[in-house]
Amino acid sequence: MAEYTLKVRRFQPEATDEDKRGAYWDNFDVELDPTLSVLDGLLQARDGEDGSLAVRCSCRAAICGSCGVKINGQSTLACKTQIGEAAEEAERKADGESTTSETGKPEIVIEPMGNMPVIKDLVVDMESTHWEKYRRVTPWLMPSGPPPEREYIVSAEAMVDVTQSVACIQCGSCVSACLSMEADPDFIGPAALAKAYRFVGDPRDGQTTERLYDLANDQHGIYDCTHCFSCIDACPKGVAPMNQIMRLRRLAGHDHDIQDVNNGRNHELAFVKNIEKKGTLDESLLLQESFAPGIKGKLLPTIRSMKGLIESIPTAIRGIRTGKMRSVPKLIPGVHHKLPGDAQDHVKRIYDKTEESRIELNLYVIGEGGEEEGAPGAEGVRAEDITAAAQAEEVTPS
Amino acid sequence: MPDHDVLVIGAGLAGQRAALAAAEHGVSVGIISKVHPIRSHSNAAQGGINAALAVDDSWESHAFDTIKGSDYLSDQDAVEIMCREAPNELLHLEHIGVTFHRNEKGELGTRAFGGASHARTYYVADITGQAIMHTLYEQLMKYADLIDRYEEWFTTELALDEDGNCVGAVTRNIKDGSMELFRAKAVILASGGNGQIWHPTTNALICTGDGIAMAYRAGAKLMDMEMIQYHPTTLRGKGFLITEGARGEGAHLLNAKGERFMEKYAPNKMELASRDVVSRAEQTEINEGRGFPDGTVALDITVVPRKRIHEALREIVLVGRDFAGVDITREPIHIKPGNHYTMGGIKTDIWGRTDVKGLYAAGEAACVSVHGGNRLGANSLLDTLIFGRRSGEDAAKHAAGRGIDRVSRTVLEQEERRVQAIIGRERSGRRVSEIKAELGETMDSKVAVFRDEEGIQSALDTVRRLKEEADGAWIDDRGTIFNQDVLGALELQNMLQQAEATCMAALERKESRGAQFRTDYPERNDEEWLKHIDVSLNGDGPELSYSPVTITDWQPQERTY
């Protein structure tokens, strides 16, 4: 048994007390075994101290997905976070800061999930946000033609592959953590896009191309993701939503050759080409290459590409102002600095190597922790993420 | 006042399946759930679903295993229906998208499970229940114009007409606290089991058996309430479940001396004997001092190849790591029997009809009875789907062509007053949470794997005292928006009514059969007790009666594994 202080972000919509109007912080002292969960702590506070403390919860075992919250700033499930570990994390974060309670112990900070409106305390409105996005991806199987007499014959690997997305419990942790959604609330988002992959990757579905076309051309679709990894960190079930989004992009752009209205595919290719050529990002070429790729694009830009370029000017200016684009001279083609020594050759070699195969990693079945158990074709990729029975699917390169 | 031809209460597998089946028959359907449907406890069914689909398997073999597993207390006509209809239901699930495990030929593949003579358990890793339930929810999206969903609405009471027919339900919208009277031509209760009466339990916090209690108050009979399954492999203290699939994949049970003790209790089936048999074996080892000091025995999964563990038992790897601090691929995990499943429930016929006209029940809330004294692993998902569908179909037929009755609003006003009275209670007496904790500990120590008259009687006395205390128990939350506190008080009243019925039935059955093992009556006694015990509410108290067990082809035999 140990003592902990839970610092809970509360909102009581019907509060009449002056100090409880709007959101406020409330501390609860609880005493429990360090191996129990933050949810157990919250329930102890609710059962013993304040029954009006609202938090959705049910299974206590990271299966039902009810108790998504932010703990010390990280989106996760309250039932899956051990309270002892949360306290250690709070201590690390509090180092040098003044977030300790009166008793001198670090406070475990618990807040409602982000990107969703708060209804009461830790309960957020998932219906108008998460579930609405879920419904946007036509979330049911659409086979072509009537079903067979027995089962569909499909490969074991294909079923395991989509089972990574099927493992999603719709807890909303990834939605809460999504940085792109903070910038664009209409972004379909990590959970719904992982759901979309569940159907796109299912050989029984008959609408693969149509689904990909819609997802690529949606202004808030697959190209809205900025590749920040937050959803992978937040997901309690190893769904790795961002990986599913990247797979959707490869399927849409590469395998189905979908030229999307968002120019997402070309932008991505421009990025890859740019780094291959220069070693680091050359902003002066990126925009032009994104909208009007190659020599043909330079000599004979289409109206669409011109329009796209012009529309990007405000973004470029904002980039310069905020320091994201490093300096104005760097925007002049050719001024981009060269990498020192033979660094450029190293970059090139990475490209040569990675072009040999395309590896689809299924984190669902490989577990975590660095155990070598022969993941074919997975050498050279970060070992802590991919181990054991990596589901490796090799595809001929372009 | 929302009107529906068919109103389904509870949105786990049985409820969603019932709603979809009713909608297919062209009637208007509403489905109510106190949590978002995909939070329902069907999620927790890990191991799989049984069906005799393989060419060398037969429904008769499945039926016999089920009946033997039930210790001959199941109704054999119902078991026959479930086992005959299983293959088609499984194929239906596959066709709508469930990602069942495949063999190397790309066909559906199986795993072994307890009490079964054939490997007939179909599965999705160890998230089978979740995979099926999310697929059904996808179908609810597909048929959204036929099925109205009421997500996070808590049903407090059924509405009856003057003749005692069920004509709707009173429900509280959790988001704003408003109460509504839903009118319906048929109501299907699919609101799950009551594991929260015990502590610890594998069951989720929502498993308070609300539907069972509401049906009981509405005059329906409850059946086999003494039959409570203790699952052989749960984590001590927390009650988390380790799937039977682990033993299906080959894991061993060991006592503290490292002995594979099942050799003594079930030399043929070993770890894959019926759950009641394995749980009793474990408890015997623990009671006789051959367990670990923390009151457990060990489940050794390390004998299963690691790649297979990661592929087929992924959830258990996470449970071990996150909740027990054990890497199950490297070391044994300590487990013990824990409360798991309500075999009994609302008595229904093979179409889900209860004793109350217009009222149906399906899934864990119901007792058809296909599980009798002991449910086989991977038969619960099947039960929910087969009898969920059948209830939906029959309720739709019942509703078709009937007009909607005028329903008195008296019940709505009465329920509003009841809820308001709880919210306004004085702060004296005990907290709801304290009473619930005492109930859980009492039931787990006295109405568990081994029982005797003295223990059950003392549990019953405690339950009756707690019932009185609960009538005055106070809560903190005085609000309307998301007042979970008041829902907890309503759930407690429901749980106490069911606990009383369970104690009464357990006291009455003076023999040992399936999950009911009486140390004072250690033998099965077919002559006197091959019958169901029914409990109904008479005035304020329970009343016991009996009903016969339906036997078709399988005469009771001695049960060995």
Encoded tokens for A397: 């390169």
Mean pLDDT over all residues of chain A? 85
Candidate from B44, B127, B479 with C-beta closest to A52: B479
Task: Say if residue A26 is in the same domain as residue A133.
Answer: no
Structure confidence at residue A96 (pLDDT):
58
CATH code of residue A216: 1.10.1060.10
**Region B149-175: what's the mean pLDDT?**
97
- Out of B109, B241, B484, name the one closest to residue A54 (CB): B484
Instruction: Give residue B406's pLDDT.
Output: 80
pLDDT of residue A244: 96
Give the model's pLDDT for residue B238.
85
- ipTM for the complex shown: 0.95
pLDDT, one tens digit per residue, over B477-509 is 999 999 999 999 999 999 999 999 999 999 999
Q: Report the Cα B163 to chain-centroid distance in Å.
A: 30
pLDDT tens figures, A76-113: 999 999 999 999 999 998 775 655 556 667 899 999 99
Which B residues, 159 through 178, put their C-beta within 8 Å of a C-beta on chain A? 175
The Cα B303–Cα A47 span in angstroms is: 42
**Residue B172 backbone class (left: φ over 0; alpha: ψ -120 to 50; beta: rest):** beta
DSSP letter assigned to residue A70: E
Q: Which residue has the tokens 């009243």?
A: B493
* Tens digits of residue pLDDT in A249-284: 999 998 999 999 888 998 888 888 888 888 888 777
Residue ending a domain, among A255, A278, A298, is A255
Is it the case that residue A396 has pLDDT exceeding 60?
no
Closest residue, chain B, to A15 (C-alpha): B479
User: How large is the average pLDDT for residues A62-75?
Assistant: 97
Q: Looking at the structure, tell me whether residues A136 and A232 fall in a common domain.
A: yes
Give the closest-approach CA distance of B434 to chain A in angstroms: 8
CA distances from B510 to B163, B451, B497, B526 (A): 37, 11, 22, 11
Q: How far is B215 from chain A (nearest CA, A)?
A: 23
User: Is the model's pLDDT at B539 over the cut of 90?
Assistant: no
The residues of B that are catalytic are 275
Contact B311, A167 (CB under 8 A): no
Q: Could you give the CA distance from residue A333 to residue B6 in angstroms, rounded to a whole number? A: 69
| pLDDT at B357 > cutoff 80 | yes
**Interchain CB contacts (distance < 8 Å): A and B:** 175
In this prediction, residues A156-167 reach a mean pLDDT of: 91
Chain B residues in contact with A388 by the CB 8 A cut-off are 306-307, 310
Domain shared by A112 and A187, yes or no = no
**pLDDT tops 80 at residue B452:** yes
Residues of B in contact with A140 (CB under 8 A): 96-97, 138-139, 141-142
Q: Which of B469, B488, B486, B464 is nearest to B477 (CA)?
A: B486
Mutate to test the interface with A, among B96, B141, B323, B330 (most CBs of A within 10 A): B323
Smallest Cα distance from A94 to chain B, Å? 24
Q: What are the structure tokens assigned to A138, written together?
A: 């036509």
Question: B62-82 pLDDT, tens per residue?
Answer: 999 999 999 999 999 999 999
Chain A residues with CB inside 8 Å of B323's CB?
35, 61
A225: distance to nearest CA of chain B, Å? 25
Average pLDDT of the residues in B238-253: 92
Q: Do A163 and B131 touch (CB under 8 A)?
A: yes
Q: Does residue A21 carry a pLDDT above 80?
A: yes
B305 chain-A contacts, CB cut-off 8 A: none
Whole-angstrom Cα Rg for chain A: 24
Q: pLDDT at position A316, please?
A: 77
Q: How would you label B266-303 residue by residue, b for 16+ Cβ within 10 Å and e otherwise? A: beebbbbbbbbbbbbbbbbbbeeeebbeeebbbbbbbe
- Greater confidence (A386 vs B320) lies with B320
- B179 φ/ψ angles, rounded to the nearest 5 degrees: -110, 140
Establish if A337 belongs to a structural domain: no
Q: Is A92 helix (H, G, I), strand (E, B) or coil?
A: helix
Q: What confidence tier does A356 reach under pLDDT thresholds 50, 70, 90?
A: low
Q: Which of residues A215, A237, A255 is at a domain's end?
A: A255
Cα gap A263→A222, rounded to integer Å: 11
Q: What pLDDT is recorded for position A361?
A: 59
Give yes or no: residues A293 and A323 share one domain. Answer: yes
Chain B nearest-CA distance from A252, in A, is 22
The answer to whether position A386 is within a domain reads: yes
Q: Which among A94, A120, A146 is the end of a domain?
A: A120
CA distances from A96 to A9, A93, B199, B339, B427 (A): 22, 8, 42, 47, 43
State residue A20's pLDDT score: 86
Residue A366 is predicted with a pLDDT of 46
Whole-prediction pTM value? 0.93
In a domain, residue A398? The reply is: no
> Residue A322: inside a domain, yes or no?
yes
Chain A residues in contact with B97 (beta carbon < 8 A): 140-141, 202, 204
Are A58 and B151 an interchain contact pair (Cβ–Cβ within 8 Å)? no
Locate the chain B residue with the closest alpha carbon to A47: B433
Interface contact B94-A152, CB threshold 8 A: yes
User: Any residues with CB less than 8 A from the CB of B8 and at least 6 apart, and which?
Assistant: B15, B18, B19, B22, B29, B30, B31, B32, B187, B188, B190, B392
Residue B192 near residue B494 (C-beta atoms within 8 A): no
- Rounded to the nearest angstrom, the gap between the alpha carbon of residue B138 and the centroid of all alpha carbons in its chain is 23
Residue to mutate among B206, B310, B333, with most A CBs inside 10 A, is: B310
Residue A362's pLDDT band, with cuts at 50, 70 and 90, is: low
CA distance A59 to chain B (A): 4
Residues A207 and A294 in one domain: no
Mean pLDDT value of segment A14-26: 91
Averaged pLDDT for residues B78-96: 98
Please state, in angstroms and rounded to a whole number, the distance separating the CA atoms of residues B207 and B466. 19
Does the structure show a pLDDT above 60 at B414? yes
A87 residue type, one letter: A
For residue B332, give every residue at least 6 positions away whose Cβ sits within 8 Å of its Cβ, in sequence order, or none. Answer: B254, B298, B299, B300, B301, B302
Q: Give B 329-358 residues with CB within 8 A of chain A.
A: none
Kindly give the pairing relationship between strand A2-10 and strand A107-111: parallel
| A366 contacts B175? CB cut-off 8 A | no
In a domain? residue A232 = yes
Q: Is B138 on the interface with A (CB under 8 A)?
A: yes
pLDDT on residue A330: 61
pLDDT of res. A222: 97
Same domain, A220 and A144: yes
- Which chain B residue lies closest to A49 (C-alpha atoms)? B476
Average confidence (pLDDT) over B6-30: 97
Q: B267 vs chain A: nearest CA distance in angstroms? A: 34
Tens digits of residue pLDDT in B457-473? 999 999 999 999 999 99
Helix (H, G, I), strand (E, B) or coil at B208: coil
Residue A80 belongs to a domain with what CATH number? 3.10.20.30
B291/A202 Cα distance (integer angstroms): 47
pLDDT beyond 80 at A390: no
- Tally of domains in chain A: 4
Sign of torsion over alpha carbons A9, A15, A18, A22: positive
**A245 part of a folded domain:** yes
Instruction: Say whether residue B36 is in contact with chain A using an 8 A CB cutoff.
Output: yes
pLDDT digits (tens, 9 = 90+) for B305-342: 998 898 888 889 988 988 888 999 999 999 999 999 99
Q: How far apart are CA B287 and CA B519, in angstroms?
A: 13
Determine the Cα angle at B13 with ends B7 and B16, to 5°. 35
CA distance A378 to A390: 8
Q: Which residues of A touch B314 (CB under 8 A)?
A: 167, 238, 364-365, 367
By the CB < 8 Å criterion, does B422 face chain A?
Answer: no
CB < 8 Å to B238, chain A: 36, 60
Please answer whether residues B122 and B108 qualify as being in contact, where contact means their C-beta atoms are separated by less than 8 angstroms: yes
Compute the distance between CA of residue A81 and CA of residue A260 in angstroms, rounded to an integer: 41
The DSSP line for B267-281 is: TTTGGGS-HHHHHHH
Task: Tell me the two tokens of residue B269.
Answer: 């089936």
Query: How close does chain A come to B105, measured CA to CA in Å?
Result: 7
| Same-domain check for residues A291 and A206 | no
> B433 vs A52: CB contact, 8 Å cut-off?
no
Least confidently predicted of A327-336, B40-49, B93-102, B383-392: A327-336
pLDDT of residue A100: 57
Query: CA nearest A54: which of B415, B476, B172?
Result: B476
Contact B310 A389 (CB under 8 A): yes
Residue B475 · residue B432 · CB < 8 Å:
yes
A112 in the same domain as A130? no
* Cβ within 8 Å of A, B 351-410: none
Say if residues A131 and B84 touch (Cβ distance below 8 Å): no
Token pair in block for residue A109: 């900070």
Q: Tell me if chain A has a CB within 8 Å of the CB of B435.
A: no
Looking at beta carbons, which residues of chain B come within 8 Å of A123?
482
Q: In chain B, which residues have their Cβ closer than 8 Å to the Cβ of A141?
A: 96-97, 135, 138
Residue B149 phi/psi, 5-degree rounding, is -105, 135
Q: Do A215 and A273 fall within a single domain?
A: no
Confidence of residue A312 (pLDDT cuts 50, 70, 90): confident
Contacts of B150 in chain A (CB under 8 A): none
User: Mean per-residue pLDDT for A181-190?
Assistant: 96
In a domain, A49, yes or no: yes
Residue B166 has pLDDT above 50, yes or no: yes
pLDDT tens digits, B194-222 = 999 999 999 999 999 999 999 999 999 99
What would the pLDDT profile of B247-280 be if each residue is shown by its tens digit? 999 999 999 999 999 999 999 999 999 999 999 9
Residues of B in contact with A150 (CB under 8 A): 91, 107
Task: Assess whether pLDDT exceeds 70 at residue A394.
Answer: no
Using the beta-carbon criterion (under 8 Å), do B44 and A61 form an inter-chain contact?
yes
Which residues between 476 and 495 in chain B have a beta carbon less than 8 angstroms from any beta carbon of chain A? 476-485, 488
Using the predicted structure, report yes or no on whether residue B418 has a pLDDT greater than 60: yes
Q: Are residues A309 and A277 in the same domain?
A: yes
**Boundaries of domain holding A279:** 264-331
Do A315 and A363 lie in one domain? The reply is no
**Gap between the Cα atoms of A390 and A385, Å rounded:** 10
Distance, CA of A187 to CA of A181 (rounded, Å)? 6
In a domain, A397, yes or no: no
pLDDT at B11 over 80: yes
Long-range Cβ contact pairs of A253-261 (< 8 A, separation 24 or more): A253/A216, A254/A398, A256/A208, A256/A209, A256/A212, A256/A213, A258/A212, A258/A213, A258/A216, A258/A217, A260/A216, A260/A217, A260/A223, A261/A217, A261/A219
pLDDT, one tens digit per residue, over B219-236 is 999 999 999 999 999 998
Residue B47 has φ and ψ, to the nearest 5°, of -70, -45
Distance CA B211, CA B346 (A): 9
Q: Where are the alpha helices (DSSP H) in B261-378?
A: 262-265, 275-287, 306-312, 314-319
| CA–CA dist B118, A150 (Å, integer) | 20
Q: For A28-51, what is each residue's pLDDT tens digit?
A: 999 999 989 999 999 999 999 999
* Proportion of chain B above pLDDT 90, given as a percent: 91
Q: Are residues A103 and A136 in the same domain?
A: no
User: What's the confidence (pLDDT) of residue A101?
Assistant: 58
Segment A291-307 shows an average pLDDT of 77
Partner-chain residue, chosen from A54, A58, A388, that has the shortest CB–CB distance to B35:
A58
Ranges A153-167, B406-420, B500-514, most confident: B500-514
Q: Do residues B282 and B337 lie in contact, with contact meaning Cβ atoms separated by under 8 Å? A: yes
DSSP conformation class of B350: T
Q: Is B192 left (phi over 0), alpha (psi -120 to 50) or beta?
A: left
